[in-house]
Structure 1
Amino acid sequence: MKRNIIFLFLICFMIVFSSCSQKPEKISKSIVVYTSLYPLAEFTKWIIPEAQVESVMPQGVDPHNFEPSLKDIQKLYRANMIVYLGNTDIDRWIDKIKDELTQKGVKVVRLQDSIQFKKYSSGNEIDPHIWLDPILTAEIIKVIKNAATEITPEKKDLYEKNFSIYETKLKELDNSYRQGLSNCSLKDVIITHEFLNYLSSRYGFTSYFIVHEPEQEPSLKRIKKLKDLMKQSSIEYIVSEPEGERIAKALSEETAAKILTFNTLHRADTQHRLDYFQIMNENLKTLKTALKCH
């Protein structure tokens, strides 16, 4: 309740602020784009390399717990284009101001309006992790390409060319996953939180999560259920995103299972500076190990 009150205050302030100010000046030499999180910024740069692209979410912040500041909201009103997921726990706050942004001349790209999202295993909450699916990522960059073309139609050929290049690379990545996960001894994988729904559905395996969201505590009932599954299916690994190591250890200590790292791309890889394709290929290696693929 407190979080909603604070956010509504910020929205009201911005509406008054924007109504009393001039329409923000757009930079003519390049498109200014803000995205709700890192992977969407990466994808936007593929299509519009000359754009000034920035993720609103600061580096190192868990996107599930991000709360925008007044400064973050103000940024959006100065953009040419905004790219975000939609009604998810990561960036649904943009839904509350999208009409106001549109009225101010900002091109608002809400991916959920163009792409079919899945729901989490329980409840009606939308699973945001579509960027981990190469086929859905191709759909994302198509939406971005079309939006960019509306803003600068004179660059349509460039955007089409860039889209074609990355669509081909994404198809190659999809093929690598299909081949790499086609001959595996296991069909089940244990993960820390629920982030593999899209990949497991695409490539024919089942993921079992310890907790639904990273900040939750694993229940004894859940730990016992997963221990039984691991023993029954000879599962020797737990797949964990970097921020989920504490959760993974809770089960690892009970089963002696080894922990494998999976990069969910919630954040930029500032340590190794790997790009999307390098990260996704590393993730494929992790899944092949966990599923005992040949």
Structure 2
Amino acid sequence: MNVRRLIPTAALAGAVALGATALTSCSGAGAVGGEDGKLGVTASFYPLQFVAEQIGKEHVKVDGLTKPGVEPHDLEITPKQTAQLGEADVVLYLKNLQPAVDKAVAQSGVKNVVDAATLTTLEAHGAEPGHGEEGHAHQEGDEHAGEHDGHDHAAGGTDPHVWLDPVKYAEIAKGVGAALEKADPGHAADYRKNTDELVGKLAALDTEFKDGLKNTASRTFITTHSAFGYLAERYGLDQEGISGVDPESEPSPARMKDLQAVAKKDNVTTVFFETLASDKTAKTLATDTGLKTDVLDPLEGITDTSQGADYFEVMRSNLKNLQKALGAK
């Protein structure tokens, strides 16, 4: 499965409702701006890095912990990187997505931290009867919950892939904007303006998905990476994961047989894979069922092979690929 830091405690204490719960205080000092006078922001992986860049623009210097091409769940952090975390003015991360980041944040003495998981409502996208492993999550009581592929999910088996739902991503953007305002009040008006602009773009993207997926021949899509539970729920689709949380693992013969039946019953034409993971299982299923393959990007990072240069471009590529696969009218 493919998938990729935080704010002055006192200043952040009064953040708006969306941001307030995200602020946690850690001991230790953090730098107050870099030598160039910009607010130093460290983001754990691409979706948070993108939000910080879009809202902070010329007032911030954003560093990403997860470099392009690195699977976020598998990220390892060096002692040097942990020490550098403590120098950030603001750290943005998504708790329980990257265990190494959670540990580094706790050890670094970071003073100003925003957990994006507290800026919106996370949900469990568990398996439904006859639908295999929908979403990326496990239910409580699942002995494998939180153990797969570095996916240490929050209590209750919540799915972390909220950025793939433009509405929930907009909620995160509002919280990050509020945090930057509190961390750097001198540029609060700009952060507010940029936040409103980004939220507006996300609302437009939401409308594009709603309209583009309103009338389709099928509502079911099959993917190696079960990261699209929020997207499927938002637009009335049914996600079917081949291997559950780990796209590199071999699905059981029973699961492959189930998916062949689902493909036939639900008029599925395409098996999706992503560029950061192996397409082996997708191609195996496609060959066995006579289906096509295509890319559905979980947007955990942008690389030279991504179908777009940023979040919006890749999401629109995802929409186009879904429309083609589902037979949009």
TM-score range (shorter-chain normalised) is 0.7 to 0.9
Q: Which of the residues 302, 307, 310 maps onto 1:268?
A: 302
Identity %: 30
Match of 2:257 in 1: 224
Q: Which of the residues 51, 61, 65 maps onto 1:43?
A: 51
Where do 5+ consecutive residues of structure 2 fail to align? Answer: 1-26, 127-137, 140-155
- The structure in which a higher percent of residues are helix is 1
Q: Which of the residues 202, 206, 230 maps onto 1:198?
A: 230
Match of 2:71 in 1: 62
Cα distance in 2 for residues equivalent to 1:193 and 1:99: 29
Cα distance in 2 for residues equivalent to 1:293 and 1:23: 51
Cα distance in 1 for residues equivalent to 2:82 and 2:106: 14
Q: How does 1:5-84 map to 2 (within 5 A)?
A: 24=31, 26-27=33-34, 29-50=37-58, 51-84=60-93
Contact 1:37 1:266 in 2 (8 A): yes
Cα distance in 2 for residues equivalent to 1:173 and 1:161: 19
Cα distance in 1 for residues equivalent to 2:80 and 2:290: 46
For each residue in 1:122-171, what CA deviation from the matched residue of structure 2 results, as whole angstroms up to 9, or x when unmatched?
33433221111111111111111111011111111101110111111111
Contact 2:46 2:302 in 1 (8 A): yes
Shift of 1:46: 0.4
Q: Which of the residues 211, 232, 245 maps onto 2:243?
A: 211
Match of 1:109 in 2: 114
Match of 2:16 in 1: none
Output the aligned Cα RMSD.
2.2
Contact 1:240 1:261 in 2 (8 A): yes
CA 1:78–1:22: 2 relative to 1, 3 Å: closer
Q: Give runs of ≥4 in structure 1 deviating > 6 Å.
A: none
TM-score by length of 2: 0.77
CA 1:25–1:158: 2 relative to 1, 3 Å: closer
Contact 1:129 1:198 in 2 (8 A): yes
Contact 2:216 2:323 in 1 (8 A): yes
Contact 1:193 1:244 in 2 (8 A): no
Cα distance in 2 for residues equivalent to 1:246 and 1:100: 38
Question: How many equivalent pairs are there?
Answer: 272
The one-letter amino acid of 2:121's match is Q
